[in-house]
Amino acid sequence: MKLHLRHCEPCKLGSPVISEEEAHQLVLSVPGWKRQFHEGVEKLVREFFFIGFKDAFAFTAKVANVADREDHHPTVLTEWGKVTIYWWSHRVNGLHVNDFIMAAKTDTIARLAMIAENQESPTENQIDEHAN
């Protein structure tokens, strides 16, 4: 099953982090994400770019909604035109399959945001023409 269609599984305190081999295979499923150590813990990290702050903030809110639904929450840095997301599992202090699931879901949110961003809003003239 594709990662973005899966749901996060309960992660218990003390559960093992995923193996190096499994992490290598899973990261291939989420291109654009990097495995890197941040604050001493391995995390998945990706930057997303937007036209301005409102678009970046709207994306952040959508990620937050999915994170709440899956009960798995990232660190998010929202800036003007840019959002940086860090996924890792606090309970295992490293990477778990849930992080890759959430990275895939985040990518889906970004793709949908990009489609919406590229669709032009109708001009006032177009609205007037269809109103008559």
Position 131 scores a pLDDT of 37
CATH code of 38-118, in short, is 3.30.1360.20
pLDDT > 50? residue 68 = yes
Name the residue ranges covered by the structural domains of the chain. Answer: 38-118
Confidence of residue 121 (pLDDT cuts 50, 70, 90): very low
pLDDT at 127: 35
Q: What is the mean pLDDT of residues 27-34?
A: 95
Residues making up the chain, counted from first to last: 132
Contact 3, 104 (CB under 8 A): yes
Rounded CA gap, 124 and 13, in Å? Answer: 56
Among the ranges given (3-12, 46-55, 88-97, 108-117), the one the predictor scored with the smallest mean pLDDT: 108-117
Q: Where residue 63 falls among pLDDT bands split at 50, 70, 90? A: very high
Q: What is the mean predicted confidence (pLDDT) over 95-118?
A: 89
Mean pLDDT score, 29-52 = 95
Nearest to 90 by CA among 39, 48, 46: 39
